[in-house]
Chain A
Amino acid sequence: MADIRPEPIREVHTHGTVLVHAPTASGAGSQSQRPPNIDALVGTIQTEFPQTHIRVTGRGRTVQRQAELMAERRLQNRHQFLHTYRPAHHITEMDHWVTHHPHASQDETVAAFVEIINRARQRGAVVSNHLSDHARDISIPHGDHRVRSQVRVRLRELGAHVLDEHDAVGGPHWHVDY
């Protein structure tokens, strides 16, 4: 406990103004130390920019939920399924599985799709941009455009990609991929 020393406040100069925020106690303020996962990344940003009141607003989908959606789509309409998803090994695999198991229940199909998705991801395939382990939706940081710009720069420094979804149906937010 006593080993934790207070760290200096870091000053960031943007467009002639001085904005101040405190780096994390764990030292994530340096560019070289990247958070181990998306949740730690968001936690780092929340700690560094407490005045922006950032909160996680969407976690993305689990593999199970993704499999449910894909199974539902394939079982309802094969043509639409093949049209919706770009041709890929795992899409062909899903399509063949359903064709060769005409009497399978929806639950069995979902279970098979979960395995297919997991195998595809182990091979490095991007099954969906909505999967939860690399993406989060966060609230748009409170503050003016300079503060938001600072947060965005910091997220990029840490290795994240930020998409401003201010016109989204579900409400304005930032989509962060990591």
Chain B
Amino acid sequence: MACRLLIHRCRFVCTKFATVLLLLGATLIAQGKPDEAWWLHASFTPSETAYESLPVTALNQSWVKIAVLGYASLPPDAKEDLNWMHRDGFHFQVDNYFKRKEVTDRELCGVFEDREGRKGRFLLVLEKPGSGAWKVAYLHSEIGEPGFSVLVKKPSGLFWGTCMQCEEFSRLRFERGAFHLDSAP
């Protein structure tokens, strides 16, 4: 009898718990929080003080730490998306895309933290002559979340974006000796 009572009580508690979970889900939707892709809320921790031979201050004088993004740094939620990301040409580092004579370039996505504790994300272009050291050729940074960004290679150019399957992509181009990032108006 006691055992039956216990089972009944357990069932009651479980049902209540499930109901609360369902209601919580419904409430979140009612409050306007739809299911979002992981890249919209992924956050990365700037933890490095240099990139290869370059101290972080050589990238930006006010920065103290960075992290360069890569497939290995993505959150566990990303697992089911990795196949199509590879297939569709998403990269966190691109080497020598612009194929200039005697100069190698490298494009990198990352996050930073500055001396005042502000964080954000960046697109960095490095370049070096044949056997020389890397130097900064272009840096675009956005103060805010130290979040996701990615490069995608398309026949129409190299694009940088802060999401995927979305509109927010800007074309990186090299013109008249300098790099430019063209954002949509």
Contact = CB atoms under 8 A, between A and B. Distances in A.
A165 interface: yes
Interface stretch (B42-50, B60-68, B91-99, B164-172): B164-172
B130 interface: no
Interface string A166-178: 0011111101000
Interface string B9-53: 000000000010001001011101111110110000000000000
Given A26-B26, A169-B159, A170-B159, A58 B165 contact: yes
A169 B34 contact: no
A149 to B, nearest CB: 20
Contact of B165 (A44, A128, A130, A137): A137
Interface string A17-41: 0000000111000000000110110
A43 interface: yes
Nearest to A39: B32
Contacts of B161: 169-170
A117 interface: no
Contacts of B88: 171
Given A46-B35, A55-B37, A128 B156 contact: no
Contact of B166 (A39, A137, A140): A137
Given A56-B40, A169-B152, A170-B152, A36 B164 contact: no
The listed residue with most B CB atoms (<10 A of its CB), out of A56, A60, A169, is: A169
A116 B185 CA distance: 16
Interface size of A as a range:
35 or more
Contacts of B142: 65, 68
A69 interface: yes
A7 to B, nearest CB: 12
Contact of B29 (A44, A59, A85, A128): A44
B141 to A, nearest CB: 11
Contacts of A55: 34-37
Given A1-B19, A169-B154, A43 B32 contact: yes
Contact of B32 (A37, A58, A73, A171): A37
A61 B185 CA distance: 11
A84 interface: yes
A88 B159 CA distance: 29
B183 interface: yes
Contact of A56 (B26, B35, B152, B159): B35
B22 to A, nearest CB: 8
Contacts of B166: 57-58, 137, 168, 170-171, 173
B139 interface: no
Given A47-B26, A57-B164, 17 more contacts: A4-B23, A36-B32, A37-B32, A42-B34, A55-B35, A55-B37, A57-B165, A58-B166, A58-B167, A59-B40, A68-B142, A69-B183, A84-B185, A168-B165, A168-B167, A169-B161, A171-B165
Interface of A: 1, 4, 24-26, 36-37, 39-40, 42-44, 46-47, 54-61, 65, 68-69, 73, 84-85, 128, 130, 137, 139-140, 165, 168-173, 175
In the A-B complex, the 10 residue pairs with the closest CB atoms: A58-B166, A39-B32, A43-B29, A57-B165, A171-B165, A173-B165, A42-B34, A43-B34, A137-B166, A56-B36
